[in-house]
Structure 1
Amino acid sequence: MSGRSGLFWDAVDGRSPLPRAAATLGLEFIDADVDNGTIRLAFNATEDFTNPTGNVLGAFLAAMLYDTVGPALLATLQPDQFQSTMELKVSFLRPVRPGRLLGNGRVVHRVGDIAHLEASLSDSDDMVIATASATARVIPLSGAGTAA
């Protein structure tokens, strides 16, 4: 599919399984523009993700945003590189019921091994329900065992 390799692209192209957390969130790769540092993903928010009022719990939305900003950077890296998230800020804009949610992420700025990232999560009506910004460090894959 992509012609690229590395942990991220191997999972996208089916050469390795999705990470368990991504699979739990129902992550589906839609597309990526490596040159522009953007990515589009979908998630399946199930009834298991809801709070007592029937809305998707914010922690699951944050996890989906986390799994959007990280891959936005991962898609641009070399096969021997990974990323370690240094901070993540999430803003919840409106409640959302279970269903398919779309994540759009992008690399805002990268200098050396530090990258600033952002993402948004939208519902099936294309309403933005949550946003995130993050800072990450590009690390050698051999050091990925200590990554967040």
Structure 2
Amino acid sequence: MDLEQGTIEVAFVASEQFANPVGVIQGGFLAAMLDDTLGPALVATLPEGQFAPTLDLHVQFLRPARPGRLLGRGRIVQRGREVCFLAGELLGPDGRPVAVATATARIQTVRGEGAPPSRVSA
């Protein structure tokens, strides 16, 4: 993991409450985990006073994810002044990918009170 270069690993625990009736984790929860992996990969590289909301998130589900620990890996693919392209994967306990994602984020300057923080704690 290298936050300064825009790569990150994040662990999640997918509990049974997020499983569908056949016992696999719902896709919406997996998409949220991927978004929460890709975004911090970029946000950790931004200077104070900037943040980067996700404009587009595309998720591909590769195989069922069971309740338990999942590992998210995210990275910056290409970064411009205002737009950034991100990619990542969500790995099951066996190390095999259960879902992959790409995203586009827009780098913005924070203005005013109540704006989101621009740094991620390591």
Give the TM-score normalised by the residue count of structure 2: 0.89
Q: 2:47 and 2:110 mapped to 1: Cα distance?
A: 10
Q: Where in structure 2 are there 5+ consecutive unaligned residues?
A: 117-122
Q: 1:60 and 1:111 mapped to 2: Cα distance?
A: 29
2:7 match: 38
Amino acid at match of 1:83: A
Amino acid at match of 2:83: I
2:119 match: none
Deviations 1:12-70 (CA, angstroms, capped at 9, x unpaired): xxxxxxxxxxxxxxxxxxxx413321000000100110001000000000000010110
Higher relative contact order (CA 8 A, sep 6+): 2
1:57 match: 26
Alignment counterpart, residue 47 of structure 1, candidates 9, 12, 16: 16
- Secondary structure (helix, strand or coil) at the match of 2:39 reads helix
Q: 1:89 and 1:39 mapped to 2: Cα distance?
A: 19
Is 1:133 matched with 2:102? yes
1:112 match: 81
Is 1:122 matched with 2:87? no
Alignment counterpart, residue 92 of structure 1, candidates 43, 61, 75: 61
2:45 match: 76
> Runs of at least 4 residues of structure 1 off by over 2 A?
141-145
- Secondary structure (helix, strand or coil) at the match of 1:97 reads coil
2:4/2:44 contact within 8 Å kept: no
2:13/2:68 contact within 8 Å kept: yes
Q: Which has the higher helix share?
A: 1
Amino acid at match of 1:53: V
- Secondary structure (helix, strand or coil) at the match of 1:142 reads coil
Q: Where in structure 1 are there 5+ consecutive unaligned residues?
A: 1-31
Give the TM-score normalised by the residue count of structure 1: 0.74
Alignment of 1:9-24 (within 5 A): none
Amino acid at match of 1:103: G
